[in-house]
Amino acid sequence: MSEPSVEIAGGGLAGLACAIAFAERGWRTRVWEQSPTLRELGAGLYVWENGLRTLEALGVYDELMPTSHPVHRFDVRDEWARTVESFTYTHEPGDRLTTMLRPLLHGALAQRATDLGAEIVTGTKAVTASPAGELAFTDGRTVKADLIVGADGLHSQIRDSVGLGRQKRILRDGATRMLIPRTEAERTDPESQRCIEYWSRTRRVLYTPCHHDWIYFAVCARNDDAKARQVPIDHDAWISSFPRLESWFERVTADTEARWDSFSMVRLKSWHKGRVAIGGDAAHSQPPNLGQGACLAMSNMLSLAVFADRHRDDLERGLAEWEAHERPLVEHTQRWSAFWGLLSTTCPPGFERVRSPFVAWMGSRKWVYTNLGKTSAHIPTGTEDLGGSP
C-alpha cells in the first residue's frame, strides 16, 4: 500500500498535535499556517491528566516537564477572600495537573513534528476544502490528499467551506491573558505555589504559576463591562474590585503582552464530511472554565490519527468511528464548562452572598465533582499503552 497523506490547515496546538500523530504512523504529513511564522500567544495553559497522557504519547512530555509547574492545589475564593472550593492533586498517575507556558508547548510540538518528517509551510492561507480530499489556498494553488484536516480555529474557513457548522456563538464573557514576572518569594512561598481563582461579582482573576520565572495572570469579565475589557488593563477598575491583589496588578505594565478574547462555543452538524475532518476550536471551541480546550484539541487529533490509520482502506468509516467515540465527552465538557461560567456572569445585586455557600455545597456533591472531573480522568485514545488508571 502506498504511503497515505494528510494535509492540515492550521499550525496551532491542534494542527501540530495532528501532524505528530499522523507522522508517527507513517503518513506523509504537511501543515499549512497562514501566519509568516509559527507563534503562540504568550500565556499559560492548564494541562490535566488526559492532556499529560496525550503529551506523553506525542513524545514531548519529557521535554516540557522541567520548565512546567506541578499543581497540588487549586482554590476558588470569593469577594471576602474566603476559600469556597478547593481541589487537591497528588501527582500520582491519574491525579495530575500541570501548568506550562503555551509558547514552550507550541515550540515543542513544532519541533517534534519536524523531527518526524512533517513539513510545515508558513505564510500560506488555506480557504476551502472538498469532500473529495482537495485543499485550496488564497493564491489559487490546490493540493490533494487522502485526508484534509481543518484545525484553523474558531472562524474556520475549512469547516464552513464543507458546510459542517451548526452553531458558532460568542458568549457573554471573555478574558485578557498575560504573563507577569514571578518574584523570588513566589518561587519558594508554599502559598504562592497553588493556583487561585478570585471572584468579585461578575469579574474574576486567575493566578497561575506556570514557570520558574512567570505567573499566568488572567482577568475575566463580561463583554459589556467596558472598563474590564480594556487593553492595556484599567488598573484602577480592577484594583477597585480586588484591592488585595494590587501588587499583582502593579506588575502589569504598558509593555505587557495582552489581548482580550471573548469566549465562544462551537458545535457542528458533524465533525467530518467525505475526506475532510475538523478539529480543535474549529470543531468544539468552548469557554475555558474547565481548562480543557487545549487538552481536548490535542487528544482528539491523536484519536483521529488512530482511527484513520486503523481504517486506511475505508477512511470514511474511520472518521465516523472517531467522531462517535470522542464527541460525547467533548459535548459533556462544553456543557459543564458553560454551566460553571454562569456562576460568575450571572450575579444580580446581593447574589454574591448566596453564591459562595452554593458553590461550596455544589463542590460537596459527588455527582458534581464527578462530572467536573470526567474529562481529566478520561484515558485518551492512543494512550492506553501508557498504563495507569483514572
Express each pLDDT in 265-297 by its tens digit.
999 999 999 999 999 999 999 999 999 999 999
Does 209 score more than 80 pLDDT?
A: yes
Burial 208-244 (b: 16+ CB within 10 A, else e): bbbbeebbbbbbbbbbebeebbeeebbeebbbebbee
* Residue of higher predicted confidence among 387 and 143: 143
Which one is predicted more confidently, 82 or 348?
82
Comparing CA positions, the residue from 270, 244, 256, 286 lying closest to residue 176 is: 256
From 274, 300, 322, 35, select the one nearest 145 (Cα to Cα): 274
By CB neighbour count within 10 A (0-12 exposed, 13-18 middle, 19+ buried), where does 164 fall?
A: buried
pLDDT class of 388 with cuts at 50, 70, 90: low
Expressed in angstroms, the distance from the first to the final Cα of the chain is: 38
* Inter-CA distances, 324 with 156, 186, 289, 328, Å: 22, 45, 25, 7
Separation of alpha carbons 114 and 122, rounded Å = 13
| pLDDT at residue 150 in the model | 98
The pLDDT of residue 94 is 87
Strand bridging mode 5-9 / 28-33:
parallel
pLDDT above 80: residue 349: no
Instruction: Please report how many Cα atoms fall inside a 13 Å half-sphere around the Cα of residue 242, on the Cβ side.
Output: 27
Give backbone dihedrals phi and psi of 150, rounded to 5 degrees, phi first: -95, 105
Residue 141 burial by CB count (10 A; 0-12/13-18/19+): exposed, middle or buried? exposed
Cis preceding-peptide flag for 328 (omega within 30 of 0): no
Q: State residue 47's pLDDT score.
A: 98
**Cα 260 to Cα 238: distance, rounded to the nearest angstrom:** 15
Quick one: CA torsion of 240, 45, 196, 179, rounded to 10 degrees? -40
Grid coordinates of 233: 488593563
Pick the closest to residue 13 from 99, 109, 121 (CA basis): 109
Note whether 219 and 175 are within 8 A (CB).
yes
Residue 121 near residue 31 (C-beta atoms within 8 A): yes
The mean per-residue pLDDT over the stretch 229-244 comes to 96
The mean pLDDT value of the chain amounts to 94
**Cβ–Cβ under 8 Å, residues 235 and 253:** no
Report the predicted TM-score, pTM, of the whole model to 2 decimal places: 0.95
Q: What is the pLDDT of residue 390?
A: 47
> Is the predicted pLDDT of residue 360 greater than 90, yes or no?
no
Q: What is the predicted pLDDT for the residue at 52?
A: 97
